[in-house]
């Protein structure tokens, strides 16, 4: 099939690459000419592991190209995806201006030559499917008023659940595909489009083998409204789950329990599940806060207050302050102290800094007249470019961050931080204080290396946690 994907960000580029890998002919469109020029040159405007490999494989299969010209691409397509940003407005409401402009542009490019499906892949509030239909129609009316009645199209909602950092695996081997549509013709087109994925009828790439026993993907078909709601409810639940782990961890710290052990203990309950229970300095990223705010806004429009979600935002805000409190407990005075941040990206394996806890932590420390040093394997350049007001001293390595620092804060659990020479780092510091904001290190090992260690919800008591009689020190990861 001929497919256009509008928006070449984290979602659009991966979606385009996957669709083309499955054999469709894809054109990716963006208004950002710099991004398009980079993609045409084989460069990636974002950091996503193995996306370069997928794009080259895709080019040899269905074929993929990049342009700023929506009109030509959409006119030739059977399916047109909208994957533009939907950032929050100060009111919490989703800013739909990019979506609206894309929908108008699609309408302006449509003629009566074929039936087309316009797909909302962006996370959009309930009712946006109908809005897109209206906007596309307006676009047609403006460009070809005489053909308005003959132009045929359907609108589908196909929310995206990929996680940055593992977006390729999430897209090739997802937990489910959700498609909302109001008519059979639209649904049929979407079913055909996703058949290779649903039935796993594609050769797994060498760089991303198919998980053992993975033979098909559940396809959920719903109304437009339910599909839109599924996306918001999923993100809200995940954020709430982490928030719950953080609240329990804060109580663990007070009563002398070990949060890591408690989470492992509850995570083995099939009704709860072990993932997203790691206590830390709070969640971040472009989606959770904005999607919760947007869902809260929608609920308020209907006279309903979602108290659990209000609390989820509040718990997360407080959790980010916890690092500052812990530093104050250890150092008393932060003015003039040098604090080293390990990691800046909102999570490992991405360069994305949107709503990253590191930004708020750095900002607060700088306000308090502390010096801030930082090292991140990928996100330092975007951080210095996008947040020049944050006077952070960027370092070449974690060891350089540690040198003569008064305290280190582990903010992002990059895999390379697991193999640090902790003893060497502790020795090079003015005060060997380590605030482990992701409970990544084994407290015993860190203490042994010379660190004055503190985690989130950890009490530094002797580990007593065993599973089937085997002692576990980093239970969260192992489970
Ligand atoms: N990033 C994620 O992990 C993730 C996961 C699931 C869902 N989502 C949702 O997917 C959507 C896109 O997110 P993202 O992170 O890829 O955003 P992004 O900011 O990385 O990319 C959006 C792109 O759209 C382009 N754009 C804006 N208006 C345009 C227009 N009229 N025509 C063409 N291009 C246009 C921008 O230039 C930008 O390159 C959002 O609604 C987001 O909530 C994101």
Count other Cβ atoms within 10 Å, centred on residue 402.
Answer: 27
Q: Is the CB of 19 within 6 Å of ligand 1?
A: no
Residue 194 has, within 13 A of its CA and on its CB side, a CA count of 25
At 297, list the tokens.
């806004």
- Residue 464: the pLDDT is 66
Band of pLDDT at residue 6, cut at 50, 70 and 90: very high
Integer angstrom CA distances of residue 23 from 6, 62, 79, 197, 214: 19, 4, 14, 11, 20
- How many A from CA of 122 to the centre of ligand 1? 7
The residues that are catalytic are: 287
Residue 210 is classified by DSSP as P
Q: Which of 270-279, 380-389, 470-479 has the lowest mean pLDDT?
A: 470-479
Q: What is the pLDDT of residues 182-239, one digit of tens each?
A: 999 999 999 999 999 999 999 999 999 999 999 999 999 999 999 999 999 999 999 9
Which of 89, 286, 293, 346 maximizes ligand 1 atoms within 8 Å of its Cβ, making it the mutation to test the pocket?
Answer: 286
- Quick one: average pLDDT of 122-134? 93
Query: Which atom from ligand 1 is nearest to the alpha carbon of 12?
Result: 16
Q: Is the CB of 425 within 6 Å of ligand 1?
A: no
Q: Roughly what angle, to the nearest 10 degrees, separates helices 224-255 and 307-331? A: 30
- Residue 472: the pLDDT is 60
Query: Which atom from ligand 1 is nearest to the alpha carbon of 164?
Result: 3
- How many A from CA of 246 to the centre of ligand 1? 29
Integer angstrom CA distances of residue 399 from 245, 320, 379, 403, 471: 31, 24, 17, 6, 31
What kind and span of H or E run contains 228? helix 224-255
Helical H runs in 61-162?
70-75, 97-109, 128-143
Q: Rounded to 10 degrees, what is the CA torsion of 15, 18, 22, 27?
A: 60
Cβ contact 125:289 at 8 Å: no
Q: Is the CB of 286 within 6 Å of ligand 1?
A: yes
How many whole angstroms from its chain centre is CA 6? 19
Q: What is the pLDDT of residues 394-422, one digit of tens each?
A: 999 999 999 999 999 999 999 999 999 99
- How many A from CA of 123 to the centre of ligand 1? 9
Beta strands at 392-394 and 2-6: parallel, antiparallel or unpaired: unpaired
Query: Which atom from ligand 1 is nearest to the alpha carbon of 86?
Result: 41
**Which residue has its alpha carbon closest to ligand 1 atom 19?**
85
Q: Is the CB of 164 within 6 Å of ligand 1?
A: yes
- Quick one: average pLDDT of 95-108? 97
CA distance 462 to 21: 51
Q: What is the pLDDT of residues 37-72, one digit of tens each?
A: 999 999 999 999 999 999 999 999 989 999 999 999
Greatest alpha-carbon span in the chain: 78
Cβ contact 156:118 at 8 Å: yes
End-to-end CA distance of the chain, in Å? 42
């Amino acid at each position: 099939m001929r497919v256009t994907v509008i928006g070449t960000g984290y979602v659009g580029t991966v979606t385009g690459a996957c669709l083309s890998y499955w054999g469709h002919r894809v054109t990716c469109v963006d208004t950002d000419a710099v991004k398009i020029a980079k993609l045409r040159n084989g460069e990636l405007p974002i950091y996503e592991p193995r996306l370069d490999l997928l794009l080259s494989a895709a080019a040899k299969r269905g074929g993929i190209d990049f342009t700023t010209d929506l009109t030509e691409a959409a006119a030739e397509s059977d399916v047109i995806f909208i994957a533009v940003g939907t950032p929050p407005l100060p009111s919490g409401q989703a800013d739909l201006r990019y979506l609206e402009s894309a929908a108008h542009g699609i309408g302006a490019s449509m003629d009566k030559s074929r039936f087309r499906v316009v797909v909302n892949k962006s996370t959009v509030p309930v009712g946006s499917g109908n809005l897109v239909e209206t906007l596309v129609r307006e676009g047609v009316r403006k460009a070809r008023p005489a053909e308005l009645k003959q132009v045929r199209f359907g609108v589908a909602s196909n929310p995206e659940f990929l996680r940055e950092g593992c977006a390729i695996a999430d897209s090739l081997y997802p937990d489910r595909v959700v498609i909302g549509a109001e008519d059979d013709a639209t649904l049929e087109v979407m079913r055909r489009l996703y058949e290779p994925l649903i039935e796993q009828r594609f050769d797994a790439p060498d760089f991303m083998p198919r998980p053992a026993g993975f033979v098909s993907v559940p396809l959920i078909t719903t109304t437009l409204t339910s599909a839109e709601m599924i996306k918001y409810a999923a993100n809200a639940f995940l954020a709430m789950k982490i928030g719950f782990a953080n609240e329990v961890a804060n109580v663990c710290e007070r009563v002398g329990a070990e949060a890591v052990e408690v989470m492992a203990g509850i995570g083995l309950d099939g009704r709860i599940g072990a993932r997203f229970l790691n206590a830390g300095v709070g969640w971040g990223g472009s989606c959770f806060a904005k999607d919760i705010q947007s869902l809260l806004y929608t609920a308020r429009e209907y006279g309903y207050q979602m108290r659990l979600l209000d609390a989820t935002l509040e718990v997360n805000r407080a959790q980010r302050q916890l690092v500052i409190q812990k530093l104050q407990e250890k150092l008393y005075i932060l003015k003039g102290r040098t604090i080293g941040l390990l990691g800046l990206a909102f999570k490992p394996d991405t360069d994305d800094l949107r709503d990253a806890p590191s930004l708020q932590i750095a900002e607060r420390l700088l306000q308090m007249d502390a010096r801030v040093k930082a090292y991140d394997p990928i996100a330092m350049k975007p951080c210095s470019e996008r947040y020049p007001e944050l006077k952070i001293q960027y370092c070449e390595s974690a060891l350089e961050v540690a040198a003569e620092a008064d305290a280190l804060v582990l903010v992002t659990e990059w895999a390379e931080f697991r193999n640090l020479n902790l003893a060497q780092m502790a020795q090079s510091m003015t005060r060997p204080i380590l605030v482990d904001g992701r409970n990544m290190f084994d407290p015993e090992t860190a203490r042994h290396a010379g660190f004055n260690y503190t985690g989130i919800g950890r009490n530094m008591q002797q580990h007593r946690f065993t599973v089937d009689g085997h002692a576990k020190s980093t239970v969260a990861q192992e489970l």
